[in-house]
Amino acid sequence: MKFLKQFYSNNKGKIFTGQDSRFQLLTCLQIAFIPLMAFSFTGFILWIFLNMIHIFFESNGLLVHQDLREAFLDAIFQETSYILPYTAIFIVALFFLGFYISNLLLRPFKLISDYALRSCATLNTTFTANTMTEFKLPINFGIKFFQYLNQSRKMKKISSGIIEDQYMKINKPIFDPVFFVHYFLLLGLACAISIWGLYLFTFDMHERIVELSISLLKNHSHSLIHFLKKQEETLDTVIKISGLILISSYVLLGKIIVKKVNGVSFNFFKTMREFMLGNFKARVHLRKDDPGQSYAQSINELLDHIINEEIKEIDWTSSSPKPKDSNKVA
């Protein structure tokens, strides 16, 4: 619950109004909505199966009277309604898992932003990040960048810095295997939990319908059992299709979110690199719907503060060679 309190304290008064909080909320809803969609689909299939049972009964002269049909439906709903609270708890749990994943995605930018805020208050602060879950590109380069800034602030003079070739060659978002393995493991966990819950939900509901149907119509159990067995075989196919839909949806969601956040990561890196190359007007500019807006603002405020308040001498002519196609953002 610590990250929930942190989220509230960081966004108090602007929840659902800032782009970052909207990104977190949207990620939570998307991760929770995918299994909810699958549950609704299989629930609809179960409803069709229930209607098929009615048709089977009526074709065999059973449950002809309206009172008998209503009593049968009431009994089934009473037997299966217990699962609704568990389903709600399951969806809420996935919602909070989505919240953790969204925090994982934004944490690298928050680390940089927190340092920027501390650095505005005092010069005697260092930027460190040793966890395995951060984007390595902005974090590793950020360490060098803030060391460069601190040295310039102490000297009250700023000029272009030295950048290694490995960073000069980067002209588009790069794949960070450690971060994305962690991210997709969490997304895979959400997918596996959803498929497991879907399987239990569907077969438990159908099993209760079968047991109740047989108990109410013992004299016709042979033909009924054969009919319900064929239904169960069809239901198994439905579960497999729903599972494929779940997996495909989570893979697609993961690719969309990763592409967006990876672009933001490269934007942070590109801005820091351009600043070190001598473009002291470089600032982080994100697209309207990109996450990390508030964190980008903190970086921009730090750079404005350094240039306007602390630096006494700016060497505008000492610009290093610019990387090829450095303005490209995928």
Express each pLDDT in 187-214 by its tens digit: 888 888 888 888 888 887 777 777 777 7
Q: Tell me, what's the pLDDT at 273?
A: 93
pLDDT at 263 over 80: yes
Q: Select the highest-mean-pLDDT range: 71-85, 192-206, 272-286, 313-327.
A: 272-286
Contacts of 165 (CB under 8 A, 6+ apart): none
What are the distances in angstroms from CA 233 to CA 52, 238, 239, 311, 324?
A: 15, 9, 10, 75, 60
Q: How many residues does the chain have?
A: 330
pLDDT at 110 over 70: yes
pLDDT at 277 over 50: yes
pLDDT at 222 over 90: no
**Three-class DSSP category at 158:** strand
Residue 326's closest CA among 275, 281, 286? 275
CA distance 116 to 108: 13
Burial bucket for residue 299 (CB in 10 Å: 0-12, 13-18, 19+): buried
The alpha-carbon radius of gyration of the chain (Å, integer) is: 29
Express each pLDDT in 232-262 by its tens digit: 788 888 888 888 888 898 889 888 888 888 8
Q: Tell me, what's the pLDDT at 267?
A: 92
Residue 155's closest CA among 165, 145, 147? 147
C-beta separation of 38 from 94 below 8 A: no
**Three-class DSSP category at 70:** helix
pLDDT at 156 over 80: yes
Q: Tell me, what's the pLDDT at 3?
A: 43
